[in-house]
Structure 1
Amino acid sequence: MNVISFNKLRDIRERPEAQFVRKDEHGQVMYLFALEYEMRPSTWSAKIWAYSFEDAEMRVKAMRESLVVCGQMHASIGA
Structure 2
Amino acid sequence: MTVIVFPKTEGKDGGPTAEFLTADNDGRQMLRFFADYRFDGRPFSVSFWAYNMQDAERRVASMRRNLCLEGQLLLRGEIDFPYAPPGKGDVPRDKGDGSTLSIRAIWRHLLALCHAN
TM-score of Structure 1 vs Structure 2, range by shorter chain: 0.7 to 0.9
The structural deviation recorded for 1:19 is: 0.9
Q: 1:38 to 1:58 in 2, by over 3 A?
A: same
- Please report the RMSD computed on the Cα atoms of aligned residues, expressed in angstroms: 2.2
The residue that corresponds to 2:15 in the other structure is 15
Which of the pair is proportionally richer in strand?
Answer: 1
Instruction: Determine what percentage of the aligned residue pairs are the same residue.
Output: 30
The structure with the larger Rg is 2
| TM-score of the aligned structures, taking structure 1 as reference length | 0.77
Q: Count residues in correspondence.
A: 73
Superposed CA deviations along residues 33-73 of structure 1, whole A, max 9, x for unmatched, are 12111113200011000000110110010011011111223
Q: C-alpha distance in 2, partners of 1:18/1:74?
A: 24
Gaps of 5+ in 1: none
Which of the pair is proportionally richer in helix?
Answer: 2
- Structure number with the bigger relative contact order (C-alpha 8 A, sep ≥ 6) is 1
Q: C-alpha distance in 2, partners of 1:20/1:77?
A: 16
Gaps of 5+ in 2: 8-12, 80-117
The residue that corresponds to 1:54 in the other structure is 54
Superposed CA deviations along residues 6-51 of structure 1, whole A, max 9, x for unmatched, are 23x65xx822111111111101000001211111320001100000
